[in-house]
Structure formats: structure tokens, C-alpha cells
Chain A
Amino acid sequence: MNAPLPRVWDSLRQSRGKRLERAASLGFGKEIPVDRIIDLLEAVIQPGDRVCLEGNNQKQADFLAESLADCDPARINHLQMVQSVLALPSHVDLFERGLASRLDFSFSGPQGARLAKLVQQQRIEIGAIHTYLELFGRYFLDLTPNVALIAAQAADAQGNLYLGPNTEDTPAIVEATAFKGGIVIAQVNERVEKLPRVDVPADWVDFTVQAPRPNYIEPLFTRDPAQITEVQVLMAMMAIKGIYAEYGVTRLNHGIGFDTAAIELLLPTYAAELGLMGKICTHWALNPHPTLIPAIESGFVESVHCFGSEVGMDAYIAARSDVFFTGADGSMRSNRAFCQTAGLYACDMFIGSTLQLDLAGNSSTATLGRITGFGGAPNMGSDPHGRRHASPAWLKAGREAYGPQATRGRKLVVQMVETFREHMAPVFVEELDAWQLQRSMGAELPPIMIHGDDVSHIVTEEGIANLLLCRTPEEREQAIRGVAGFTPVGMARDKAMVENLRDRGIVRRPEDLGINPRQASRDLLAARSVKDLVRWSGGLYAPPSRFRNW
């Protein structure tokens, strides 16, 4: 019998040691001069590495992304990129220039069309499109990065990092990389003697480089109240009276968009008049939406934990530390992984908008010729079967869905849409574009954002459909048609059946809720302009200049 070959048990550590030696032999210490970053990347990254380029819908390690894209493809190639978003042109350049070949990600947003083209030309291999939590989870299973390129606000001489209010994905990425033999390289906006607080300890970080300009941050969650329409006010009134009040929703997440911004701005006015202060919307998993300021100032909100921050909100957040999570230095600490977990398991409700809904309630934001991905909405917009703790809203929804003897509750997953989008594009469709996208991309599954069986309610200007109370697929279909307005899907309804659903409270019209559509006025909004938000904040909110008209 042959003795087995002796197995090497520390190949990752050895590889890491060789990479660090190569860097040292080129004269690199921990602090990398900005003009030599490409030399460093070419020294420590090897062909075939799994590389995580930090970035999300807000903070971006943009300087490291551009530097990596400028590396020599003869030296660095076949990289497997594992990253939350493919958002910057340089992210796509990596594939077009032959540095990277495979991609596992969550969201692509503005680069969706370029990405779709690369897939069709077979110049990129997509591993999978994840939700944020799935991708973070896989960092700790089978997609652990060999090299992580991250963004921080500041570093001190030892290499400790301060992440600032936009902590976002950094802790999850660094933890997976630093503790599995990987290399962590941080771009920082500034070097300081003493950090306000230490978010990442120096011995988890191998190199830092001061970027020539601060990392880019997109003001993604700023919604100008001036653009909220009367129809959105009407839908917000219906949602508050017909869902928030009836279920007593205290723990929740809102999607981005004007529909939910309208709800936030009706809390201090309409909801307060209904006597709902303290009864709804007390605990949030939410980015610091400027439109939440009036509700916070009115005393509606007890706590907000954030995925990331928002441009201009830092001083306001720091001055409201009872509400937001802040460090000993006073500034906010966000954390996408924890906030997504809160959104998945600890929230009783998710409410958001979408571009298309089909007759089963499946929704999608995919449009032809663009691969946009998912981000975090599917986690928040899904009923977690692993949840065990009860709350009144969760129990009531569970009993509506499974009957009085239910052994579990239900998360409220609400889709809020106007029946038509701009240019008269119907939101309600017989078949989602996602199916055609699946066929043209050769994907294994259509990119469905929220599955119909997770959706509890659909709110449109015509009414609310409560899908929990539907007992057959046919009832479900007619309930959806019954709020689909004058779209072709809505006009093809079985009128008698919809009236029957209405009698049973499954479809409810504004008048069934005691709401006269003519009451839906922008005067109900607690703030009607960005300037009103600044006033509510006592001058602490400093909106970016593109949102100002003063």
C-alpha cells in the first residue's frame, strides 16, 4: 500500500507570504505612493484570483477600480470578480480589456446595457446574480476573495481604518478576506494622525493608498418632495389607512422611490391625524432618507439602522444619536450586512415599487437589453420561513394567509405602483420582460425581483388587493386584475368576480377605506420641497447642490 502524498495545509498562507514578499522586494511598505499603485496590484494579484472590488449603490473604491483596469492584461488575467455592484465604467473595462473573465455580483444599475452586450458576445461568464446577503454569505463559503480592494475615509500611520458614515459592505468583505489568507488593500481619502474611531484594525489591512480624490458617493436616496404627485399622495393615504394602521406595522423597510417618500411625508400629517403616532413606523431598517426627517422630528420614529449613509445627512444624523446608530466619535456607523439581516428577519413589512407585475404577482425591474440584478430588495421583500418570533402585524398576516390555526406568521410584502408608468407603459402585464431576457441571455432563471407567492398586498391608485386572503390562483389573478386600472390586464377583469372579491374585502377601493380621492392633495405632505426638509432639520441637513433652488 502506497503512503498518501503529504498534504500541504497552509497553501493560502504560503501564497499570501509570497505575494507580500514580492511587494516588499519592490520596496513597498504599508503605505503605497499613489503613482505606484499599479506596480503593487501587479505584484500581489495573480492570474485566476478571486478579487472583490468594493462598491455599492453609494460608496465606490473608484480609484482602485480604475487602477486595476489599467494593469497589464499579460500579467493579470482570468480574474474572477466577486463584488456587490458593477456600477462604474472601469468595472466593465476589466472584462473588455481581458483582465477579468468571470463575475459574481448583485446589481449593475447604469452599466446594465454594457453588461448585457458582453454576455451576448460571450466575453464574460456570469457565475450568478445574487442578493447582497447571498453574496456576502458566499464570501464565507465558496467565493472568498484572494484580494479585496476597499474604500475607507481615513487611515492612520499603523493602517487602522476609519470608514465614516458610509461603512456599508466593508466589514463583511474585509472579514472574509483577511481571515482566509487574502490581501486587503484600502484606498483612503486622507491620512490622519489620530482616527475619530477605528472601524477596521490595522492587522486586517495590508496596504493603504491615498486616492487622488475622495471616493465617489452617489446621493441615491434623496427624493425631492416637489416631484411627488397627487396620485402618489392618494396611494400613500390608502397604504397608511389600509395596511399600516390595520396591521399596526411598527418595524419596516421602505424601498427608494417617490411612492414610499410620499408615505414618509404623510406620517406627521395624515397618519398623525388618524392617531397613529407611536402605533406605526417606530423602528426602521432604512437608509437615512431625507424625506424621513419630518417624521423623525415629529416623534414618530424611535430607531433607524442604515445600510449606508446619504450625502448631506451626516450632521443631522450625528445630532440625532438616539435615533441612528453612531460611534463614540458621534458619526454614524452603517452596515449593509446587518441591516439586510434586519430587513429580512426583523421587519414586519417591506413596501416598494417595481416596473412590471404579472398575474401571479411576480415583479421585475428587468427590461430588455439590460442586466440590472437585484441588490437587496428580494431579501427584504420575501417572507422568511425561518422566522420564529411573533409580532401583532406578523401574526395577523399569518392568520389571514393560513387561517386562525396558523403556526406561523407572514411578513407583509407590499408592492405599490401606479397602473401606468411614464409614456403610458403599463405596469401590469401578462408576461414579464424578464422571461424574454432569460431566453436571450441563456440564463437559468428569469430575473424576478419579488416572487408573487411572497407578495401580500398590491396598492395602486384604483385600490388595494390583499393577496393573503385569496384562496385560489383564480382569485389571486382577479384580485390583481381588479386593481390594474385601465391597463389591458385590468380591462380584461371578470367584473362580477372582482365585485365579489370587493364584498369580501380582498379588493378595496379608496371609498371602501373612507378616502375621497379629491382629498389627495400635495398640501398633505409635511414637506413640499427640499428646502422644507432643511427647515424641518433645523438647518442640519445640507442637500447636494443639484437638489437646491436657493
Chain B
Amino acid sequence: MSLSIRHSWFEATARQRLAGLLDPGSFCEFLPPAVAQPSPHLAQLDLPGAFDDGVVVGAGQLGSRQVLVAAQEGQFMGGAVGEIHGAKIVGLLRRAVAERPAAVLFLIDSGGVRLHEANAGLIAISEIMRAVLDARAAGVPVVALVGGSCGAFGGMGIVAKLCSAVVMSEEGRLALSGPEVIETVAGVEEFDAKDRALVWRVTGGKHRYLMDDCAALVDDDIAAFRRGSIELLDDWQETPDTLARLRAKQARLQGRLSAYGRCRDGLEIWAALGISEPERVPLLDCDELIALKEGLPT
């Protein structure tokens, strides 16, 4: 049965994702574990660090294109961004400005700032935001790949949306405040973070694809992320944002807020989009959902 030959992106480590994403044997790591330093902040808090501080950066080839890559490890502290972690990503993006690779692939798997490192983590995230925009301004597309167990939340949710495009799987999640944060702040009546199906209907890959928040939806499979990234870059022309384009985007978002702002669930939004059986959306496979979206009134 073909089910057993899938290699789940959701389940894989950052290093396994990179190994399957890039052309075989092409990956070359910058600051590999043997020369890197674990976080000094975590050590002060009496917590064991990771040699790579939870992010792998380097260069490789994707379908013979030269690319730079950063992959966050969701299993280490929820992929949270600390000082060294952030500095590695910022350094990589600055290198992209200097080297002009075909793209930067950013494998996001993170709840946002590493709270243990407080201000250093916050500064790191804002530096990443600036560096993403600088790389794009230099004409280097930055593509976010979101399909890990931690999704892209908090500051990393913002970073994902600053990228040129987002490739997601259904299992991926993308939002600003995480479900637990919303429940804690606004109460379980507002959002039940334990209702996993609801969480995915509101933040998951299918919803993001239907809302045009991601450019491509792929299966939870490392090879599918590879194919999706290659196809995206085949057609991609990085064009810097102009004031007029930003204004148009802003207008679209305001229209979205007034159309769906009162909805309580992805189901209501999907019905409003014109989907006749919205409750069937979570059951559709990736290709069926893409076909469904193509058939929707625009």
C-alpha cells in the first residue's frame, strides 16, 4: 500500500526535511553543530541547549537552482526564536543579499519568540523581518514552507506573511496568536484550543489556501514540498512591493474583515465563499481541495 512510502513533513526533523527537500547530497551546512554554540541564555536558566540552537542554515540546490535554506526544529523548544537562532537566520538572509541565490527557502516550524530569551528573542524576530524584506528588495524570493507540528505563530506568523510566498500542507498552521493564547486571554467560549478540528478549520493549511493566504497547498509529504517549491519557483518573478500594491493589499484585507469578521468558524467562511458542503472540506484530499477552489466564484 502506497501509504507506507510517504515521508511525513509534519513528523520529520528539520534535518530530515532538508535532506529530502534539496537535491541529494547538495546541502552544505553553515555553522554545523560541531562548531556552533548552544544558547548561553538557556544555560543560565539551567536548561540544556541544542548545538544548532534549533535552526539549521546552509546552501544547497533545488532542482539545480542554487538556494539558501533555513530550517527550524519544532521539537526543540517549539521552534522558538532565541538570540543565536535568530542571528543565524538573519546572517543567512544577509548572505542572500550579497550572493543573490535563486531563492531562500525558509522552513518555518515555530511558535514565535523564545520567551526564555525575552528581549533578545524579540529583537531577533524584528531583525528577521527586516532581513526578509531586504532580501526581497534585492530581488531574491524568500519562500516560507509551513507544515511542521508547531506551525507558524506569533512573530514567525508575521515573518511568514512577509515572505514572497507561502507553501503549506493541510497539517500546517499559520496565524498570529496561537490557539492556547487566545483561549487564555479571551476564554474558552471565544476559542476552544482543545478542539483540534476547530483549530485546523481556523488556522490550518486548507483554510489558508481557500483564503489565498498561501500560494500552494501540498500533501504532508517531503517529496510534495519539494515538487511544490520547484513549481512555485519555476513561475516566480520577484517584484518588490510598491506603495500602490500595498494599498491594494490593504483594501483587500479590509474587505475580508468586513465580509467574514463576524464568522465564528472556518465552516461559516467557507459557506460564505460559496462552498455548498463546507463540512466536507476537512475530508477532501489536497487535489480535491485545489479543484474545489478553482471552481469557486471569484
Interface, chain A (partner B; CB < 8 A): 226, 268-269, 294, 297-298, 522-523, 526-529, 531-532, 535-536, 539, 545-550
Contacts and interface: CB of A to CB of B under 8 A. Distances in A.
Contact of B3 (A522, A536, A549, A550): A536
Contacts of B198: 545
Given A539-B283, A550-B170, A550-B171, A523 B196 contact: no
B4 interface: yes
Contacts of A549: 10, 171, 196, 200, 204
A97 B8 CA distance: 53
B46 interface: no
A550 B200 contact: yes
List of 4 A-B pairs having minimum Cβ-Cβ separation, nearest first:
A545-B197, A548-B197, A548-B196, A550-B170
Interface in B108-136: none
Contacts of A531: 171, 220
A293 to B, nearest CB: 11
A51 to B, nearest CB: 35
Contacts of A297: 1
Contact of A550 (B1, B6, B204): B204
A92 B13 CA distance: 46
A526 B197 contact: no
A526 B3 contact: yes
Contacts of B189: none
Contact of A298 (B1, B8, B194): B1
A528 B8 contact: yes
B120 to A, nearest CB: 31
Q: Which of A269, A294, A529, A548 has the most CB of B within 10 A?
A: A548
Contacts of A523: 4, 7
Nearest to B192: A545
B198 to A, nearest CB: 7
Interface in B1-46: 1, 3-4, 6-8, 10-11
A297 B198 CA distance: 29
A545 B4 contact: no
Q: Which of B170, B194, B196, B206 has the most CB of A within 10 A?
A: B196
B4 A526 contact: yes
Given A550-B170, A550-B204, A522 B11 contact: yes
Interface residues of B, number: 21
A549 B149 CA distance: 9
A531 B206 CA distance: 15
Residues of A contacting B: mostly: helix
Interface in B206-234: 206, 220
Given A546-B195, A548-B196, A550-B197, 8 more contacts: A527-B3, A528-B11, A531-B171, A545-B195, A549-B10, A549-B200, A550-B170, A550-B204
B282 interface: yes
Nearest to A225: B11
A226 B149 CA distance: 11
Contacts, number: 52
Contact of A529 (B8, B206, B283): B8
Contacts of B200: 548-550
10 contacts: A268-B4, A298-B1, A526-B1, A526-B3, A526-B4, A531-B220, A536-B1, A545-B196, A548-B196, A548-B200
Contacts of A545: 195-198
Q: Which of B1, B6, B170, B204 has the most CB of A within 10 A?
A: B1
Contacts of A298: 1
Contact of B1 (A226, A268, A539): A268
Contacts of A535: 3
Contacts of A528: 6, 8, 11
A268 B170 CA distance: 26
Nearest to B200: A550
A535 B283 CA distance: 10
B153 to A, nearest CB: 14
A543 to B, nearest CB: 9
A517 B130 CA distance: 46
A298 B2 CA distance: 12
Contacts of B283: 539
A519 to B, nearest CB: 15
B195 A269 contact: no
Q: Which of B7, B10, B198 has the most CB of A within 10 A?
A: B10
Contacts of A546: 194-196
Nearest to A547: B196
A291 to B, nearest CB: 14
A536 to B, nearest CB: 7
Contacts of B4: 268-269, 523, 526
Interface in B255-293: 282-283
Contacts of B195: 545-546
A548 B1 CA distance: 23
Nearest to A527: B3
A536 B220 CA distance: 16
A525 B11 CA distance: 13
Nearest to B5: A523
Contacts of A536: 1, 3
B95 to A, nearest CB: 34
Contacts of B196: 545-549
Interface in B148-191: 170-171
B10 A529 contact: yes
A532 B170 CA distance: 13
B206 A550 contact: yes
A531 B284 CA distance: 12
A460 B171 CA distance: 34
Contacts of B194: 546
Nearest to B197: A545
A440 to B, nearest CB: 35
A390 to B, nearest CB: 36
A528 B204 CA distance: 19
A526 B3 CA distance: 7
A203 to B, nearest CB: 42
Contacts of A526: 1, 3-4
Contacts of B220: 531
Q: Which of A269, A298, A535, A550 has the most CB of B within 10 A?
A: A550
Contacts of A527: 3
Nearest to B170: A550
A251 B12 CA distance: 36
A269 B4 CA distance: 8
B3 to A, nearest CB: 6
A279 to B, nearest CB: 20
B11 A226 contact: yes
A486 B177 CA distance: 43
Contacts of B171: 531, 549-550
Contacts of A532: 3
A397 to B, nearest CB: 32
Q: Which of B7, B194, B198, B220 has the most CB of A within 10 A?
A: B220
Contacts of B282: 548, 550
A294 B195 CA distance: 26
Contacts of B1: 268, 294, 297-298, 526, 536
A347 B10 CA distance: 39
A527 B4 CA distance: 7
Nearest to B285: A535
B255 to A, nearest CB: 28
Nearest to B205: A550
A294 B3 CA distance: 10
A528 B7 CA distance: 10
Nearest to B204: A550
B146 to A, nearest CB: 13
